[in-house]
Structure 1
Amino acid sequence: MKRKPYRFFLYLLLECSNIIILLLPYRVIVFLGGFFGGLSYYFLPKYRNIALENLRLAFKDEKSEKEIRDIVKGVFRNLGMTGVEYASLRKFNRKSVKRILTEEGANTFKKILSEGKGLIAISSHFCNWEMAAVCTSAFDLDVSVIARRVYYPPYNKFLVSLRESQGVKTIYRDDKNVLRKSLAVVRSNEVLAIVPDQDVDSVDGVFVNFFGRPAYTPSGPVVMAMLSGAPIVVSVIVRDGGKFRLVTSDPIYIQKSGDRKKDIIKYTQQWTDILEEYIRRYPYYWVWIHKRWKTQPKVNSV
């Protein structure tokens, strides 16, 4: 792959900011992250406009233009906070990180895992999504995440090392053995975390309804649940009184009808509906800057 110089300079900027993050108190860092994230609303017109258009189409007559713009400003603030919060994990070990986490979500996972079937946790690019796995691992649960490889190796190494420092294992989405490794996780009665809420036309998927529009959605989570017998939960992380709280749905158990394609669409729609409910409740937490409805069903020509 051709080297892009800006990636190197962005990485240098990241390393410099990490020095500041290590020196300043955690709450100060989070405040600054939100402040500068909010400022980026004015300096990143491409992503601002994508978010505005997505929200207008998603909420139509439900929200005013002012409400939509306020949500987008909140999205940028959240992304700024998310970046510094995650980088701040260097300040914590696996014991001390519990100071910024609540245990209720992990307790729900433990109850489901007591059935001995493993667990597929569907999350989203929502609030600080990386902290969802940390919130699971911190309370003595084994968790692996399926993640995209970042195509600048030093930055990828940085992200993976932060996960590993909190006991979170990574399975790369482009690994030729991704299915085998993922099934091994759930068959070992562990948590497999997946973030399948983006339009990725290079992976197998189906079209389901999302905010009233067809959205191409990865079928992998449901396929793995069908193969393993593991239940699915939809879980997102939210900020609550200076801590992170993991919110989880009731478990979804796959009941096979004999029509594989129909089952995949049915259960993909089911978890998508739950995710939409969370996003409607906290619209400023989701990454509206992504072109979620880019891929559309092909219209048969006459």
Structure 2
Amino acid sequence: MKSALVIWLCSLVAKLPLRVLHCLGAVLGKLTYKLSRAYAKRMRENLGNALKGYSDAEFRKVLHAGIAEAGRGAIELIWIWCRPLGEVKASVRECHGWEHVENARSNGKGIVFLTPHLGCFDVSAIYAATFMPMIVLYRPPRLAWLDPLMRRGRERGQLRLARTDVSGVRLLYKALKRGEAIGLLPDQVPGNGEGEWVDFFGRPAYTMTLIGRLVQSSGAAVLLASVERLEKGAGYILRIIPLRLVDGAPISRQVNAALEELVLSNPAQYLWSYNRYKTPPGVRPAINQEKKSQ
């Protein structure tokens, strides 16, 4: 009952133009920043850690923009999930680097899309799945009544979701063996036993090892996909670049290094409020890991 009501309400909100929702989102972002001390502190710390070479004025400019962008990113999901698929696809005004997708497909390779919490990351998978079958790994929300809305909004066209459990990982392996595409959030904190401590902007971050296992077992192409949110609700720009992996170097470290470069290309639209440096339940804190290796 609650899920049906939420879907109905979101469908009404989604009728508003994207530019209006982005204006409302900017207000939402500012209110959240002012009302939640924990949220504001995490955002300042994460951003400050990444922008160590910036002046105070430059930092404040990015922080101010990032506060508004975080709100836009939250509220635009209603539009992305509830508007017709063709309209969502058309909101991607430009796509750069699609030739890397075509090259991988022409060579019969599966594709691992790595889409960090940058810009409107949800729209990248929805767009790609209008051209090919795709499975995206997702973690069900803590609020169970939100799950139907999330699945309804994402599982459209040729896009399917795989839960973050053993059965979901099996679906990813099978898709790559068939030469299909999968999608992962490479900066999402994994559960106990599913990651390792790797530096991200100079701080240990528990980083998923699944990417390395998938690539090594399948030989799939690895593509970084990022989506820039345009001003005034004008839509999005999707950029796809290949991740050139170096043999012998830990894949998780290479991924984090590539993500750092990608994030710094558009720092205001990265989700700095995400608790990237948390220690998952059951995982030894990074300091213990460092002492053990010494």
Give the TM-score taking structure 1 as reference length.
0.83
Q: Which has the higher contact order (CA 8 A, sep 6+)?
A: 2
- When structure 1 is superposed on structure 2, of 120-129 and 95-104 the one drifting more is 95-104
Q: 2:203 aligns to what?
A: 213
Counterpart check, 1:276 vs 2:260: yes
Gaps of 5+ in 2: 280-285
> Offset of 1:90 from its aligned partner?
5.1
Deviation at 1:245, TM superposition (A): 1.8
C-alpha change, 1:284 and 1:106, in structure 2 (3 Å) is same
Q: 2:65 aligns with which of 63, 69, 74?
A: 74
How many residue pairs align between the two structures?
A: 282
Alignment match of 2:182 (pick from 189, 192, 196): 192
Matches of 1:254 and 1:173, distance apart in 2: 27
On the 8 A contact 2:139/2:163 being kept in 1, the answer is yes
Shift of 1:160: 0.9
Give 2:115's aligned residue. Answer: 123
Partner of 2:25: 33
Question: How is 1:168-179 mapped onto 2 (pairs within 5 angstroms)?
Answer: 168-174=159-165, 176-179=166-169
Structure 1 moving runs of 4+ over 6 Å: none
1:247 match: secondary structure: strand
| Distance change (3 Å), C-alpha of 1:160 and 1:225 | same
Q: Which residue of the partner structure matches residue 258 of structure 1?
A: none
Deviation at residue 80 of structure 1 after TM alignment: 1.9
Q: Does 1:143 align with 2:173?
A: no
Q: For 2:15 and 2:102, how far apart are their aligned partners in 1?
A: 36
CA distance in 2, matches of 1:88, 1:121: 23
- Quote the Cα distance in structure 2 between the aligned partners of 1:203 and 1:250: 28
User: TM-score, normalising length from structure 2?
Assistant: 0.85
CA contact (8 A) 2:226 2:239 kept: yes
| 1:214 positional shift | 2.6
CA contact (8 A) 2:81 2:152 kept: no
Shift of 1:134: 1.3
For the aligned residue pairs, the C-alpha RMSD in angstroms reads 2.7
Go from structure 1 to structure 2 and tell me whether the alpha carbon gap of 1:287 and 1:277 turns closer, same or farther (over 3 Å shift): same
Task: Please tell me whether the aligned partners of residues 114 and 186 of structure 2 are also in contact (alpha carbons under 8 angstroms).
Answer: yes
Compared with structure 1, are the counterparts of its residues 68 and 231 closer, same or farther at alpha carbon in structure 2 (3 Å cutoff)?
same
CA distance in 1, matches of 2:98, 2:83: 19
- SS in structure 1 at match of 2:229: strand
